[in-house]
Amino acid sequence: MPEWIKLEREGDLDWIGENLDVFWPSARIGYQMVGRGVLIVDTTVISEEGHPFSYVNQVMVEREGNEDVQRMVREYKPDAEFVTSLLKSLDRVSSYRIEVISVGSREQWESRVEPD
């Protein structure tokens, strides 16, 4: 794996961790409302509120055709994990399966990087 990809993934995971307080509750609500799915974040657009994001259900994920994201969505444990796809410039997408671990009164996180 090229060094730039490793650095980009590290940056992505740091950024996801910094925004976990928004992403994790949003993914849980999405799951409760429509079932398994992926939290899609458009990192190419930013406003005063931040980057736009939405939760897309498994049916839409299956239609999209990205086999790695489909597998992540089928396999994640919704009580402790979520899947997120970051839309990037040049039509690139980076997807991650994130595990959230509660430790005391604060949430810490671990990630499993699964290439898309």
Helix ranges (H only) for the chain are 3-18, 20-34, 58-64, 67-75
- Relative to beta strand 37-42, strand 81-88 is parallel
Q: Which residue has the tokens 């992505």?
A: 12
Prediction pTM value? 0.86
Render the burial of 36-57: b for 16+ CB within 10 Å, e for the rest.
Answer: bbbbbbebeeeeeeebebebbb
Grade residue 105 by pLDDT with cuts at 50, 70 and 90: very low
CB 84 within 8 A of CB 40: yes
- pLDDT tens-digit map of 9-37: 999 999 999 999 999 999 999 999 999 99
